[in-house]
């Protein structure tokens, strides 16, 4: 009987140890950019294990063409955001706003990366500084910059040849071409006709695909990998029609 009680005690202790071990994992802190303007970058950072704690975020801005780092800033995410409070993110004091002097960086396309506690934000943003004509590289053959016509602000997302994004289509597009990164975009052809040359953040793409969820003012940008497409996230970007 004593042996039975001893074994029962050992089993209960082991179960308690396992149960305790399973509860020590903390939810990772999360961060996201909300808006990038000509003067500021805003977003939020939140840790569900410390719902009322203002976290420190790390913002890095790099020039897209060279990877040159032009800004490296750390700041506290402690501004009140009603939408965060409504989403039950603690007391709502988890926003941040960073003032940016884009003019000091020169014309170009810039990549904005963020992290909190060493964990990357769920979305990376880009910003085009200067006029589209100044940002765009001249055509090598003609040494002239094509004319650009603004089509306004579009929602842009990313997709890749994986089954999750493209099903059985893979790299095959709806126009019969092979999708290529930094070249192919999926569009709503009633808004952007197939074959159109579209400039997004300094890169010129060709409208040659159509996604099942692409409707209206929405453009899906093709990437080689799923990680890259997820990294793009959802952005609201001004797009330009390139005219020869």
- What's the angle, vertex CA 182, arms to CA 103 and CA 243, rounded to 5? 75
Q: How do beta strands 184-186 and 203-209 pair?
A: parallel
Residue 47 has what DSSP assignment? -
User: Under a CB-based contact definition with an 8 Å cutoff, are residues 239 and 126 in contact?
Assistant: no
> What Rg do the C-alpha atoms of the chain give, in angstroms?
24
The continuous run of DSSP H or E covering 5 comes out as helix 2-22
d(CA 135, CA 225): 26
> Minimal CA–CA distance to 197: which of 211, 207, 185?
207
Which pLDDT does position 207 carry in this prediction? Answer: 95
* HSE (side-chain half, CA atoms, 13 Å) at 166: 26
Which pLDDT does position 243 carry in this prediction? Answer: 82
β-bridge mates for residue 74, sequence order? 58
If 0-12 CB within 10 Å is exposed, 13-18 middle and 19+ buried, where does residue 13 land? exposed
Q: How do beta strands 147-159 and 119-120 pair?
A: unpaired
Question: Tokens 């999360």 belong to which residue?
Answer: 30
Per-residue pLDDT of the chain (244 residues; tens, 9 = 90+): 555 555 555 555 555 454 444 445 567 888 988 888 888 999 999 999 999 999 999 999 998 878 889 999 999 999 999 989 998 898 999 999 999 998 898 888 888 999 998 888 877 788 888 765 555 555 544 445 568 888 988 999 999 999 889 888 889 999 999 999 999 999 999 999 999 999 988 889 999 999 888 999 999 999 999 988 888 888 888 899 998 6
């Amino acid at each position: 009987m004593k042996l039975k009680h001893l074994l029962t005690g050992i089993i209960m202790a082991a179960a308690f140890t396992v149960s305790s071990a399973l509860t020590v994992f903390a939810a990772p802190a999360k961060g996201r950019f909300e808006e990038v303007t000509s003067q500021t970058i805003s977003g939020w950072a939140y840790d569900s294990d410390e719902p009322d704690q203002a976290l420190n975020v790390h913002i890095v801005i790099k020039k897209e063409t060279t990877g040159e780092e032009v800004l490296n800033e750390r700041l506290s995410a402690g501004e009140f955001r009603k939408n965060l409070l409504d989403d039950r993110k603690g007391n709502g004091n988890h926003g941040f706003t960073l003032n940016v002097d884009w003019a000091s960086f020169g014309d170009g396309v810039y990549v904005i990366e963020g992290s909190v506690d060493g964990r990357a934000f769920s979305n990376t943003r880009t910003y085009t500084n200067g006029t589209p004509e100044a940002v765009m590289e001249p055509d090598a053959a003609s040494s002239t910059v094509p004319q650009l016509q603004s089509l306004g602000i579009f929602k842009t997302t990313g997709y890749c040849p994986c089954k999750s994004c493209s099903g059985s289509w893979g790299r095959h597009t709806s126009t019969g071409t092979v999708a290529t990164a930094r070249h192919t975009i999926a569009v709503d052809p009633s808004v952007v006709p197939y074959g159109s040359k579209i400039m997004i953040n300094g890169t010129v793409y060709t409208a040659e695909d159509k996604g099942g969820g692409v409707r209206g003012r929405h453009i899906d940008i093709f990437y080689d990998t799923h990680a890259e497409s997820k990294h793009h996230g959802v952005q609201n970007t001004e797009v330009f029609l390139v005219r020869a």
